Amino acid sequence: MLTDTLKKLFRRDLEKLKQEISLYADETRIWVIDKEIANSAGNLCLHLVGNLNTYIGDEIGKSGYIRNRELEFSQKNILQQELIKRIEDTIAVVDHSLGMLKEDDLDKEYPLLVFAEKTSTGYFLVHLAVHLGYHLGQINYHRRLLGK
């Protein structure tokens, strides 16, 4: 049951991420940083795509994804349509990978040590969903404040 809930939440928020990126009328504004805003919506989008493809796609789904976290924050000026494609690809990977899980897999130890202590797969997936929601909110505010 929790796996189905997580699939729905990840899909919902990734679809919302796609919508937020699509709503920038001037796609160059996706990459704007200003004053106390340290990360552009584009870099947060790349970070979310990298994060989910790494921790769900590769670790759970065995997708073979290789992450370059530094590029998530240093790449700039990727076209809006390319960002949307990456989000769509991530939706497919997350959906497929979570579909491979059985309910009792959530109680098993997550294969990577990400925090100071090991966690269950279920705990880590909930963390990833919260992390997605956190950055999605930042992107929404970025768009409304700077997206013009």
pLDDT of residue 37: 86
Partnered with residue 37 across adjacent β-strands are 34
Domain count, the chain: 1
Q: How many residues does the chain have?
A: 148
Q: What are phi and psi of 69, to 5 degrees?
A: -60, -35
Helix, strand and coil percent figures for the chain, each rounded to 5 = 70, 5, 30
Which structural domain range is residue 104 located in? 2-146
> What contacts 6, CB < 8 A, 6 or more positions away?
98, 125, 126, 129
Running along the chain, 148 residues long, what does each successive block of 10 average in pLDDT? Answer: 95 98 96 90 98 98 97 97 98 98 97 96 98 98 86
pLDDT of residue 148: 67
